[in-house]
Amino acid sequence: MSETRLMALLDHWADGGRMATFWLRDDDAVVPTPALDRLLALTRDAGVPLTLAVIPENTDEPLKQYLQPEPHVSIAVHGWSHRSYSEPPAKNQELGLHRPMAEVLGELRQGFAKLQALYGPQFIAMLVPPWNRIAPEIVEALPALGFTSLSVFGREKPAAVRVLNTHVDIMDWHGTRGGRPAEDLFAEILSYLESDRPVRAIGVLTHHLVHDDQAWAFLDRLFALTAAHPACRWASAPDLLGA
């Protein structure tokens, strides 16, 4: 089983003084929900820092007040509206060139300012594009808007800002639309640890609003195995970005 192989590798790393680094990003927060409450309790109890990608357009004081007592939570900018402007059969994309670029950048500037004002020290100047898609031209404009980092999905590539990506998505978007099998997820994590092209930190991507029992069970198991393991470290995005 991939879980057994993963733990054997981590035990071996612990014996040799090696360390695996992980970070957690969850997308699509707008308001407090029971699902978000469950995620906060799970990460708080495990001591796992959480980067929450918040959709700026319709969020406000209720979520701010809810998250203020949670020092392990950092807030990133999740586009502006999480609305797609692409035409089928193209994949969903908010931050593309389907509209005037000035309009897209204006929304991003507005979202940055809104979340920075709401969250203060919990805010990080990170853009998380909806659907993990963004036009290269918009990436180039991010520093002028105040953004210092970008997080999408897959291996990091050079950009105009620092890049801290997610690599393991626990959701089966193209099949059941529930949680992926734990066996597959542990195997994916193992493949990154064994790769000859290691990533700085393995980013685990979650979407609390659509988790089913299998998704929650995997997170429970992952945190139980890694949070206190001597060869594992769950780091916050600000720490990894040097903030």
Q: Is 132 exposed, middle or buried (0-12, 13-18, 19+ CB in 10 A)?
A: middle
* Predicted local confidence at residue 93, as pLDDT: 97
* Predicted local confidence at residue 90, as pLDDT: 93
Q: Tokens in use for 8?
A: 């054997």
As averages over each run of 10 residues, the pLDDT of the chain (243 residues) reads 96 97 98 98 98 98 98 98 95 97 98 98 98 98 98 98 98 96 98 96 98 98 98 98 81
Query: How far, in Å, CA of 83 to CA of 197, rounded?
Result: 34
- Nearest residue to 127 via CA among 78, 160, 80, 85: 78
Q: Supply the DSSP string of 192-206, one letter for each residue.
A: HHH-SS--SSEEEEE
Residue 93 in 3-state DSSP? coil
* Predicted local confidence at residue 243, as pLDDT: 57
Q: Tokens in use for 199?
A: 């990533």
Query: At 57, which amino acid appears?
Result: E
Rg (CA), the chain: 18
- Domains contained in the chain, CATH given: 2-241 (3.20.20.370)
The residue whose two tokens read 């393995």 is 202
Q: Which residues on adjacent β-strands are paired with residue 153?
A: 166
Report whether 171 contacts 179 (CB < 8 A): yes
Query: How far, in Å, CA of 167 to CA of 173, rounded?
Result: 15
Q: Supply the DSSP string of 1-46, one letter for each residue.
A: -HHHHHHHHHHHHHHHT--EEEEEEEEEE-S--HHHHHHHHHHHHH
